[in-house]
Chain A
């Protein structure tokens, strides 16, 4: 068995719909999210590009990219930073392949791809089977319950960015609260 097989071995654990909903805090922590993001930064942005776990303020023009995960845990992985940071990230990602003038579409595409890579690797540490959605870019989606949100505040080249793994709104409600389809015994 390879190291990869061991990392992603199917444990055989399966869940019923009647099981209590999963909270993201039961599944991963901020250190794991930061580690996943750092791996993406090192490989795609640059070997010597580091994410420092320090909070900083996001500017008013913040831009977000996100991917949805649907499975035993359902929610979104959201990457948010200022527009100038997003442009710098795009240039770092594209390196010598960057066009002389970056269009808005180039920046949104690059930020979306970073969310896609981080989201795909977050999905890998969550219980499966899960489906990964296509990346979207814009204003951040509505935050879910704080009890189902794992947010890390980071600095890259001194600029703030956040990565939030947040449950879908209402995902933590009791599954028996809306049981109109259940037939009473």
Chain B
């Protein structure tokens, strides 16, 4: 399975990438929403996108809206991973088309649990 991790913090990209690779994902990274769209434009379509909210150039909410407006990317599951923890923000993200929402700080188990709920745990991680 493939995942795209989008965060302007390279520390957070490394952490999330490490968790996903540990579960068996093949991962690519991007530093903002625009770079994330550039990855999708290459035709490398991930099963999962983990995207931060607050980023320069293009934020996570704009990225979610852009992905949802393109039918070719309809199959992509989007999980927001962000320190924006207000209820109204979560509602906005889900309304824009995100499937799940993980609030920073998070643990590896929290990511794993969300992926299990989404049915996106690779077989090797389930065993």
A4-B87 contact in complex given A120-B104, A134-B56, C-beta closer than 8 Å: yes
A60-100 interface code vs B (CB 8 A; 1 in, 0 out): 00000000000000000000000000000010011111100
Chain A interface bracket (under 10, 10 to 19, 20 to 34, 35 or more) = 35 or more
Judged by a CB distance under 8 angstroms, whether A30 is at the interface is: no
User: In this assembly, does A159 line the interface, its C-beta being within 8 Å of a C-beta of chain B?
Assistant: no
Give every chain B residue within 8 A of A95 (Cβ-Cβ): 15, 18
Please give the distance in Å from B121's CB to the nearest CB on chain A.
21
In the assembly, what is the distance between CA of A113 and CA of B52, in Å? 12
List the B side residues contacting A5 at CB < 8 Å: 87
**Number of residues from B at the complex interface, CB < 8 A:** 23
Chain A, residues 127-141, CB within 8 Å of chain B (1/0): the string is 011101111000000
Chain B at the A interface: mostly helix, strand, loop or mixed? loop
**B82: A residues at CB distance < 8 A:** 120
Q: Does chain A have a CB within 8 A of B54?
A: yes
Q: Is the CB of B14 within 8 A of A44?
A: no
Neighbouring B residues of A9 by C-beta, 8 Å: 87
Residues of chain B from 17 to 68 with CB closer than 8 A to chain A in the complex: 17-18, 54-56
A92 to chain B, nearest CB (A): 11
Contact partner of A128 (CB less than 8 A), chosen from B54, B83, B88, is B88
User: Interface on B for A, CB 8 Å cutoff?
Assistant: 8-12, 14-15, 17-18, 54-56, 82-88, 104-107
